[in-house]
Amino acid sequence: MSESKDHSVPALSKRQQRRQAARKYVYRAPTLADRLATLSQHAAALKHSAVAAQIRAGLDAYFEAVKLDSAEKSESLPETKNTNGSGAEPALQKPAPSLRIRCLALGSPTESGIAMYQLALLMLIAEWFSPSRCAARQQEKEQNQQQQQKEEQETKATVENLAKSDEDKPQGIEKTSGSGSADPDTSASITSSTPGESNSSGNSKKKKKKSKEIKLTQLTPTSGPGAPAPSYTSLSSYTPAAAPSSLSSDPNNASAWKLPLDVAVTTYDPVFSPDDHELFEALGIKVSEDHGFVDAEATATTIVYSIHAPPFLTESVLAATTPSDPARYVYIGNVLENYGTHLSTAELQTRYPLINAAVVSSPFPSTRPEARKKQQSTPEPETDTALVPWTWFPVPDSLSANEPWMTAVNDLCVYWRNPHAQHKSPVSLD
């Protein structure tokens, strides 16, 4: 008789059990709370990264170049006063400049990890330049200035008191007698002191002077609230620790994730799914019907956020964002020079004339030493092109090397039209 075979399923090892559990977790349909939690983790990782700091520095340079800092921009606007019941003098408030963010070619954040990292970076930028945050930073600056003035007054009073005490202090023992007639024998014996005693008295005076100088230097503020204020207060002079980030809110509370009402963020991509629309609605981001630009707000500064956008979309954006005031737009996108890597000069000029004109008018500052030497040896091209010269603020790929968001922010640059250059009419290519 043949032996019966055991057809029972063998028990899984611990390693196989872990793999099976992980496989079930990966393929589990994520909810809105899961996506918000993932976005929160990405934002927390990017918040203090070198890439975010470089983008922040580029936007700082833009706002400084076009003179759109909150103090200078609000000088021509009417001032409003806070009405409070206390007897204190009401503080003056000036409205911050309007700002909007236009996001293009983001991709599907619910289906792509790269798009989720780019969305987290977009949320950080929106928080940096929120007008409510700008007002809070302006109030913090005024408080620091008041604290600095108070410390300066205290330091000045301390110096005056020390100087007055030095003047009132008797010079020598012979002036300490209450009556004007001192005994000549006593005075003679006092004046005829030994050299060692005179040296010790001189050393004690020097020590007292040094201690006074040390006290004075310690009273001078060098950092902190009493430190000198910066020369300008741009829209980006914001310390992340000054206010809590909304990205660290409870992911189960979807209403807490909405952006402030004073932030206008719109996005468009034809690949958005219903899950993407649900996520954008929870974040307070408006989804547009097309990628066009509507200049209803003539005075609004626009940040065009289009990372990894195809060249035809970048070309159409440059064509649509050429207003009478070219400095109203700042772009966060690909390095325009790299669009011509797989195209010849003639093809780039024919298919994408605006990209070619921008690259020719303003050479891109390379971060590689060999390319920099080669660039310096070649003569600079003429700036007589269809567009005004551009300012490039590159974000080197080395800043995100070995980081999980490396492929999401590579080939990145912050750029804008130079507001001080002469704007020339487009040149026909026919």
State the average pLDDT for the chain: 69
80 lies in a domain?
no
Gap between the Cα atoms of 8 and 6, Å rounded: 6
pLDDT in tens, 295-340: 555 567 889 999 999 999 999 988 888 766 667 889 999 999 888 8
Neighbours of 275 (CB within 10 A): 17
Q: Cα dist. 297→98, 100, 114, 184, 302 in Å?
A: 9, 9, 31, 92, 10
CATH number for the domain harbouring residue 342 = 3.40.50
158 lies in a domain?
no
Q: Quote the domain boundaries for residue 418.
A: 30-73+97-142+252-371+386-429
pLDDT at 353: 92
Q: Where are the beta strands (DSSP E) in 199-300?
A: 264-268, 286-287
Q: Which residues of 205-232 are buried (b: 16+ CB within 10 A; e: fewer)?
A: eeeeeeebeeeeeeeeeeeeebeeeeee
pLDDT in tens, 33-50: 889 999 999 999 999 899
Instruction: Place 341 in a pLDDT band, splitting at 50, 70 and 90.
Output: confident
pLDDT at 116: 94
pLDDT in tens, 47-97: 989 999 999 999 988 988 876 444 444 444 344 444 444 444 433 343 444
Q: Cα dist. 322→60, 317, 422, 424 in Å?
A: 22, 9, 13, 11
Would you say the C-alpha torsion 31, 32, 33, 35 has a positive or negative sign? positive
Q: Cα dist. 263→97, 280, 289, 409 in Å?
A: 11, 14, 19, 23
Q: Which of 14-28, 220-234, 292-306 has the lowest mean pLDDT?
A: 220-234
pLDDT at 82: 42
pLDDT in tens, 264-285: 899 999 999 999 999 999 998 9
Query: How many structural domains does the chain have?
Result: 1
171 lies in a domain?
no
Q: Which of 394, 382, 391, 393 is nearest to 417 (CA)?
A: 391
416 with 357: CB under 8 angstroms? Answer: no
226 lies in a domain?
no
365 with 394: CB under 8 angstroms? Answer: yes
Q: Quick one: average pLDDT of 178-192? A: 45
392 with 375: CB under 8 angstroms? Answer: no
pTM, to two decimals: 0.60
206 lies in a domain?
no
pLDDT at 142: 81
CA 37 to chain centroid: 24
| Strand partners of residue 332 | 305, 414
Q: Quick one: average pLDDT of 364-368? A: 63
Q: Cα dist. 53→166, 292, 333 in Å?
A: 51, 30, 16
14 lies in a domain?
no
411 with 335: CB under 8 angstroms? Answer: yes
Residue listed under structure tokens 């780039």: 348
